[in-house]
Structure 1
Amino acid sequence: MRKPVFWLIVLSAFLGACSQKVEDKSKKEKLEMIEKISKLEQELINPDTKHLNYKQAQKVDKLYREFIRKFPTDTAAPEYLYKCAEVNVGLGKYHAAAELFQNMQKTYPNHPKTPQSLFLAAFVYDTHLDQKGKAETIYQKVIELYPGTQYAKDAEIAIQTLHLSDEELLKLLQEKAKQQSDSSTALKNE
């Protein structure tokens, strides 16, 4: 009876030590990735041209994705997902960017950047991919899921102007500017 208890204690100690080593290795890997990402983020914009450094952007995109895959519950993961989507917009990978922005809502629905992220997904579908129907569906989702936010208000305006031609939009903006000018003049005269 004593031998099984002894071996059980030895086995528990061994498994505990192994578990600690795996945890330490994972923590070290995470910190190394964060350091690499931080370094690459500083090199994203070419200081001479003020343009996106595509080579560095592709590297940081890969690291963001790897970090999110390996450490999805880490507090940095939603931030990196958002930044990854932004980088993909900069790289001209609009389908990927829109999907990444939408993944914020699916994966981190309560994160503070999620309403903005979902709005930006719709914006990318509208402006870069010319998929007005998809954009409208996502704008509507912003309104439904995040009512009362500035992004819900912006989504309502975007839906109203989504199917307008450039000429119609210009006319609408000119009318709004005239209305504001008229109301400002009326206030000054009082």
Structure 2
Amino acid sequence: MRAPLVLVTAAAIAGLSACTDQGAGSDIDTGDFGNATMNNTLAMTSARDLAIDLSHRFAAEVPSTINFAFNSAELDGAARATLREQARWISQYPDLKFRVYGHTDKVGSDRYNKRLGLRRANVAVDYLVTQGIPRRQLEAVVSFGETQPLIVTEGRERQNRRTVTEVSGFLRRPASLLDGKYALFTYSEYVTSATEPHELVLVDKQGGAEER
């Protein structure tokens, strides 16, 4: 197919010429204006996307939730076992930050439940620290109290009495996002995506499509 012919009028040429004339501010833009902002944005976006990917991997590979008895912030055997699994995973990524969110059921006042949720988050963090995780990697500053139930009920519900551990970002941006374990993670994601079944669609010259 022949490329469309573009006609440029004399007036348009004159307008373009005027843009190249020296005038007020014409020597300010050297062609790289905004590059610093663009580079920073790309770097931060890459780190953000990697943190999101690692967050999904954490949730897929490790139980992220522990539960509590009614009106309690004490860890039972199952909770401690889950936190030990979390600690083993977290120890692989010393530059990652994690948040532990505390939740309660609907029984009790909102003020009391927020305090209880925060106590639960702090207990979980304290236990992770005993497993060798540096406290600087962990935050227990957010408590949703009773406001985000898994099971909507006004009564007692164990599934709502929980803490949830999530990846929240990096302590510092890695010197190279493709370095060490982060490169291995990225590589494994590439291999997975390459081996997943894909649907081949052939398009003929008439615009029809055939699936294989």
Structure number with the higher helix fraction is: 1
Structure number with the higher strand fraction is: 2
Verify same fold: TM over 0.5. Answer: no
Superposition TM-score tier, normalisation by shorter sequence: 0.3 to 0.5
**Higher RCO (CA 8 Å, separation ≥ 6 residues):** 2
TM-score by length of 1: 0.32
In terms of Rg, which structure is larger?
A: 2
